[in-house]
């Protein structure tokens, strides 16, 4: 018998991801598009539930991504204006 581990977390929809990240739907799509110029390999991947078209994200993954963005923005600036 194959038992999957129980999921303990909160799933959020695209609208909530938009509100948390301040990204529009196109920016979310671009961050997820591995072939596009704005691909973000660290942006959380959505999951599908059942046969529906809806995508959901794990809230904790989105919040971790946000925390990483804050940390990156707080890095000291080196000469020439580039982040370390």
Q: Is residue 53 part of a domain?
A: yes
Alpha-carbon distance 29 to 1, whole Å?
A: 37
Q: Is residue 4 part of a domain?
A: no
Residue 40 scores a pLDDT above 60: yes
Confirm if 9 and 60 have CB atoms less than 8 A apart.
yes
Q: pLDDT at position 58, please?
A: 97
Per-position DSSP letters for 40-79, written without gaps between them? -TTSPPPEE-TTSS-EEEEHHHHHHHHHHHHHHHTSPBPT
Q: Is residue 19 part of a domain?
A: yes
Which range of residues forms the domain containing residue 17?
Answer: 11-69
Q: Is residue 79 part of a domain?
A: no
Confirm if 51 and 8 have CB atoms less than 8 A apart.
no
Q: What is the mean pLDDT of residues 7-12?
A: 92
Q: Is residue 63 part of a domain?
A: yes
Average pLDDT score over the chain: 90
Q: Could you report the per-residue pLDDT of 50-81, keeping only the tens digit for each?
A: 887 789 999 999 999 999 999 999 988 777 65
Instruction: Specify the number of domains making up the chain.
Output: 1
Alpha-carbon distance 36 to 5, whole Å?
A: 34
């Amino acid at each position: 018998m194959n038992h999957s581990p129980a999921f303990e977390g909160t799933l959020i929809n695209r609208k909530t991801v938009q509100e948390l990240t301040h990204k529009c739907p196109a920016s979310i799509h671009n961050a997820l598009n591995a072939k596009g110029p704005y691909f973000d390999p660290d942006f959380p991947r959505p999951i599908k539930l059942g046969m529906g078209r809806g995508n959901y994200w794990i809230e904790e993954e989105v919040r971790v991504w946000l925390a990483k963005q804050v940390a990156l923005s707080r890095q000291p600036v080196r000469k020439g204006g580039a982040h370390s």
